[in-house]
Chain A
Amino acid sequence: MSDDFELAALLGEAPATPDPDFRFDVLARTAERARRRQARQNAFRVTTMFALIGLVFPLAHTFGLGLTQLQPLLLVAGLLGVAYVLALWTLEGPRAVLARSRAVLRLPL
């Protein structure tokens, strides 16, 4: 009974052959973790973006800029925002005409 292999066998044995169910579970967990990580990154990006947008007004107010002085800047920012959304829709939207080009270039958005 003092034999190492017997002790090891009593403590716990490995499966005799590779278990396909185990592999499937590992891959499912891997994909789930990747999805969660992506979701966390997206949430962080969106939160940061809105926080920065929200910071613009108090900062401008601190430096003595009113809404009238900020109007040209806001107009440009708004136009850039709309352009970004349109570009995103063209690349990733339901009728993504440039989706193929993006896939070829492997562009991360």
Chain B
Amino acid sequence: MDSGEEARLIGLARGGDYAAFGRLVDAHQGAVRAFLRRVTGNYADADDLAQEAFARTWEVLYRFDGTSALRTFICGVAFQYWRRARRSQSRREARETAYADLSDTQTDENPERAAQRLALRKAMEELPQDQRAALALCLGQDFTHAEAAEILGLPLGTVKSHVSRGRARLQVAFGVAGVER
């Protein structure tokens, strides 16, 4: 979707047009859902948070000034929701559901890949909150470091450092030799 069309849809959505907002949801759901899936490690929780984030975006769309991309704005909202949800959810509970999630979401996956996925998720859960979010945003190159910095409200250098260290720790979790810790 080009920026002119997006600006037009944002204008319509601000005026209460649900169809226009629906098109914006379609355009940005991929990036937002991928970010939340990586950061939560649970597809159902991630999609639930993503829906809440989009619904909240509808309410605060008037605050969007167009200086950044809309998906950055939505991911910022999603990040706040994730942080809030995380406070109320214990880490132990998340670990317990990790095995169930594997069987729910990847039923046709070979056991070796399933084990890798689980190891990766565990490594993610052990990362500090901001590092985990920075990594989830930048790892699949969905977002640039600058965009991630804006979403997380962190300095650019901190985000770069988070991504670099987080990536190294994930690689260590996979047993890749010669990486810094």
Contacts and interface: CB of A to CB of B under 8 A. Distances in A.
* A and B are interacting partners: yes
Contacts of B54: 26, 29-30
B33 A33 contact: no
Interface residues of A, number: 27
Interface string A1-31: 1101101111111110011101101110111
Contact of A11 (B18, B29, B38, B55): B38
B151 to A, nearest CB: 16
A10 B54 CA distance: 25
17 contacts: A2-B174, A2-B176, A8-B34, A10-B117, A10-B120, A11-B38, A12-B43, A18-B30, A19-B29, A26-B29, A26-B51, A27-B18, A29-B52, A29-B55, A30-B18, A30-B58, A33-B59
A26 B25 contact: yes
B82 interface: no
Interface string B21-44: 110011101110110111011010
- Max chain A C-beta neighbours (<10 A), residue from B40, B142, B174, B179: B174
Which 7 pairs between the two chains have the least Cβ-Cβ distance? A12-B37, A8-B140, A14-B34, A18-B26, A14-B30, A11-B38, A29-B55
Nearest to B42: A12
Given A1-B174, A5-B141, A12 B51 contact: no
Contacts, number: 101
A19 B54 CA distance: 14
Contacts of B9: none
A83 B120 CA distance: 68
B26 to A, nearest CB: 4
Nearest to A19: B29
Interface of A: 1-2, 4-5, 7-15, 18-20, 22-23, 25-27, 29-31, 33-34, 37
A46 B12 CA distance: 32
Contact of A12 (B21, B22, B27, B46): B46
Contacts of B25: 18, 22-23, 26-27
B59 to A, nearest CB: 7
Contact of B116 (A1, A15, A26, A27): A1
A25 B43 CA distance: 15
- Max chain B C-beta neighbours (<10 A), residue from A4, A7, A11, A13: A11
A7 B56 CA distance: 30
A86 to B, nearest CB: 30
